[in-house]
Amino acid sequence: MTENVYLVIDVGTGNVRVALVTPAGKVVAIAADVVRYHRDTRYTDALYFEPEALWAQILELCRRVMAGIDGARVAAITSSSQREGVVLLDASGREVAGMPNIDHRGRDFEDILADKDRVYRLTGRYPTSLFSAFKVLGIARREPERAAQISVMVSISEWVLFRLSGKTCYEHAQASETLLYDVENRRWSEELCADFAIDPAILPPLAYAGDVLGDVLPEWAGRFGISPGTKVVVGGADTQLAILSTLPSTDDVVIVSGTTTPVVKIVDQYITDDRQRTWTNSHALKQLFILETNAGVTGLNLQRFKAIFYPNEPYEQMEREILAAIDKGPQCWAALGSLIADEKRPLIRGGFVLPTPLHHELTRGDFAFALLWDLACSIYENYRNLCDVVPHREPYLWACGGGMQSTLLLRFLAGLTGKEIRVRTHFTQSTVAGGAVICNSVLQLAEEMDASFEATLPDGEWDTTGWYNRWKKNREALKLHQS
């Protein structure tokens, strides 16, 4: 086995993963488990996780991946997590609350902000209960005694680092998701803290991805069987680390297909959209930003669809049936709630559009085509909105994430955009590979990230313009009838 490996802990929305990855980005061991959430009935739409239970999962996953690394040395440990998730600590470092990105306990208090346009200009995003400040505000309004215990606020990835090293920080890209951070000037904002009545003292020092936070604590070094001097390296937001795995240049566009599908452009200046369609975030790399639109829960839709229609078959079988549906002519179209940046109201009632009476040749492959085409069109629409804010002139797009395992999705995107779609060798585990990029920058190891890639070219085989127009018409019709 490779002499040096990195231990990467990634807490996503659906799963927590622990992986060992080489400096070249090759995953040599990985273990995963489902993140368990609980509903908090004191709020309109609130979910939480038990930090102690999540930490126990992480320790078990670490034990499993470390069991088979004979001859390898863990050179560094880093972490990544879902954006907008947050853990609150008391003065002794004990967890007061753990809230995921999908927690919306602040929804009932969104109207407290008098000047949302000002908040957008400072934070690069329109303020909603998705973001961390509203989660803290929700606790303050409904549970003041609990709120009084809060001494430190960290993102989930930095909470993992705190557990490992005993030191707190807040990575810049994760800070972008709080609504308490001045994105252009890369600093905490006293003005924004005042808007949410949040004490700035609970915000730890900011850190960049790749900063060394400290050494792993002896307790975990002994438990993992690694050197007590192993460095704990700041990682950060899962989207930004996934972007890093593609080794992009400034002005490149990257599509990250996970639970949701961010479509991002790497820029070297702070840019916002007059129509507030985009988010602007600090990138994991210093001096760079990412401009983002997001197609919503596209990847999650695909996973759930497969679980219902193809529970025991591989994705390859589903794609064969999609091709068969295309060959005889698609019989089904879909609009399943994916987000489009320029829509004033999201699609909250979607579905499949079928001919009546049902066609005798209708198959599950027709439904699969409709879902995958809906996913591709939603990504394309968000790409177009992104290009409306900042033009994209390169003849290619980078893609990464587990959702990009579909070769048909890559072909659909190439046809819609007219661009070459490129994926790196390690694209399916992009966040983990991004962790390797971060650790490489710290340790300056001789081995570098594998830069090879495969490209999908627009081939003109299908009438994607006609399909797109059909999809657009159906989506508009469904929007008119939603309630």
**Residue ranges of the domains in the chain?**
4-239, 247-483
The dihedral sign for the CA sequence 328, 332, 336, 338:
positive
Predicted TM-score (pTM) of this structure: 0.92
The answer to which of 249-258, 297-306, 314-323 has the lowest mean pLDDT is 297-306
The predicted structure's pLDDT at residue 298: 84
Listed residue (55, 197, 29, 175) closest to 112, CA to CA = 197
pLDDT at 1 over 50: no
The dihedral sign for the CA sequence 384, 110, 122, 115:
positive
The correct CATH number of 247-483 out of 2.40.30.10, 2.60.40.640, 3.30.420.40, 3.30.390.10 is 3.30.420.40
Q: Is 280 left (phi over 0), alpha (psi -120 to 50) or beta?
A: beta
- Indicate the helix (H) or strand (E) that contains 117: helix 116-123
pLDDT at 414 over 90: yes
39-69, pLDDT tens digit by residue?
999 998 899 999 999 999 999 999 999 987 7
The predicted structure's pLDDT at residue 3: 78
Tell me the CA distances in angstroms from 359 to 15, 322, 332, 404, 413, one per residue in order. Answer: 39, 16, 10, 31, 28
Average pLDDT taken over every residue of the chain? 92
The predicted structure's pLDDT at residue 154: 98
| CATH code, residues 4-239 | 3.30.420.40
Share of residues in the chain with pLDDT > 90 (%): 76
Report the alpha-carbon distance of residue 278 to residue 291 in Å, rounded. 7
Q: Average pLDDT in the 63-88 region? A: 90
pLDDT at 421 over 70: yes
Listed residue (301, 277, 458) closest to 373, CA to CA = 301
The string of DSSP codes covering 380-434 is HHHHHHHHHHS---SSEEEEESGGGG-HHHHHHHHHHH-SEEEEETTGGGHHHHH
Report the alpha-carbon distance of residue 26 to residue 20 in Å, rounded. 9
pLDDT at 446 over 60: no
| Cis ω for the linkage preceding 357 (within 30 of 0) | yes
Q: Average pLDDT in the 248-274 region? A: 94
For 447, which DSSP code?
S
Q: What pLDDT band is residue 450 in, cutting at 50, 70 and 90?
A: confident
pLDDT at 2 over 60: no
334-374, pLDDT tens digit by residue?
988 777 877 767 777 788 988 888 888 899 999 999 999 99
Q: Average pLDDT in the 435-458 region? A: 85
Q: What pLDDT band is residue 445 in, cutting at 50, 70 and 90?
A: low
Q: Is 71 left (phi over 0), alpha (psi -120 to 50) or beta?
A: left
Six-digit token string for 30: 């990985």
Share of residues in the chain with pLDDT > 70 (%): 98
End-to-end CA distance of the chain: 57
Angle 275-279-282 (CA atoms, 0-180°, nearest 5)? Answer: 140
264-307, pLDDT tens digit by residue?
999 999 999 999 999 999 999 888 999 999 988 888 888 889 99
Report the alpha-carbon distance of residue 284 to residue 211 in Å, rounded. 11
Same fold, 4-239 and 247-483: yes
Q: Average pLDDT in the 433-452 region? A: 83
Report the alpha-carbon distance of residue 165 to residue 189 in Å, rounded. 27
